[in-house]
Amino acid sequence: MSFYFRNDSTDGWKYLKYHDIIFLVDGERWRFDTDHDGDIKDGHVIENLFVNLSEKRFLEVVNAVKVEIKVGADSFPIGPSVMEAIQDFASLIANPDAPIPDRFAEAQAALRKPQPSATKPSASRPRTNSGYMDYSGYKPGLSLSIAKNHEKDGRNSQAITLYKEIIKRAPGTGQANEAAERLKKLEAKK
Mean pLDDT of 67-87: 88
pLDDT higher than 50, residue 136: no
CA distances from 13 to 28, 73, 93 (A): 29, 13, 35
At residue 72, what are phi and psi to the nearest 5 degrees? 60, -125
Under a CB-based contact definition with an 8 Å cutoff, are residues 57 and 30 in contact? yes
Distance CA 15, CA 48 (A): 9
Between 83 and 1, where is the model more confident?
83
Does position 29 have pLDDT exceeding 90, yes or no?
A: yes
Residue 120 pLDDT? 36
Report the percent of the chain where pLDDT is more than 90: 16
Determine the average pLDDT of the residues in 94-101.
68
* Cβ 180 vs Cβ 186: under 8 Å: no
Average pLDDT, rounded, for the chain:
76
Question: Which pLDDT band, with edges at 50, 70 and 90, does 133 fall under?
Answer: very low
Count the Cβ atoms, other than its own, within 10 Å of residue 107: 22
Average pLDDT over residues 122-132: 34
d(CA 74, CA 69) in angstroms, rounded, equals: 8
Report the alpha-carbon distance of residue 93 to residue 86 in Å, rounded. Answer: 11
